[in-house]
Amino acid sequence: DPAQSAFLASKYGNTGIAEKKYLDITAGFDVSNFVFENFYINLQYNVNHILDYEKGLLSGSLTEIEETGHKGIWAVSYEFGGLKYKIELAGNYNFTQKDYLLKPSFSLKIGPETKIIMGAYFFGGKRSTELGQFKDKDFVYGKLEHLF
C-alpha cells in the first residue's frame, strides 16, 4: 500500500527500520578448575534497554521486543579420562520473554587434534519470542573436528 509505505518512510526512513539508542550491559565470570580439577564454568547476566522505546517494535527476526530485557547465559563443562572425554551444558534463558535454549554435548578425543562431538539444541518459549519461534526445530548433531 503506497500510503502505508509513505507513512513508514516518514517515520522510520525509506527502509521501514527504526533506529533506536540502547544500552547493553553484560557481567559475568569465567573460571577453569572451579571447585575441582577440569570443571569449567561461565555464567553471564545480560540486560539491554531501549532508551527511546515505542510499543510494537520487532527485532530483526520479526519477534516481539521489550523495552528492557534480562537474560542469563551459561556454559559448564567437565573433562575426564585424562581429558579424553568432555560433557558440557550450555544455553541461555530470557527472564523477560521466558524463552530458552539448552545445548548439551559430549565429546571424545580420538587423536591429539581430533575429536568427535555429539550434541543437541532444545528451544522453548512462546512462538512470538526470539528463541521460542524455533521451539519445533529442536535437533541433534554429530561433528568431527580436526585442528591443523
Alpha-carbon distance 58 to 16, whole Å? 11
In the chain, % of residues over pLDDT 70: 89
Where b means 16+ CB within 10 Å and e means fewer, 101-125 reads beeebebebeeeeebeeebebbbbb
> What is the pLDDT averaged over residues 105-121?
96
Measured over the CA atoms of residue 31, residue 36, residue 40 and residue 42, the dihedral's sign is: negative
Residue 5 sits at φ, ψ, to 5 deg, of -60, -40
The dihedral region occupied by 56, where left means phi > 0, alpha psi between -120 and 50, and beta the remainder, is left
**Alpha carbons 125 and 140: distance in angstroms, whole number:** 19
Q: What is the pLDDT of residue 8?
A: 45
Query: Tell me: the pLDDT tens digits for 77-108?
Result: 999 998 899 999 999 999 999 999 999 999 99
- Read off the pLDDT band of 7 (50, 70, 90): very low
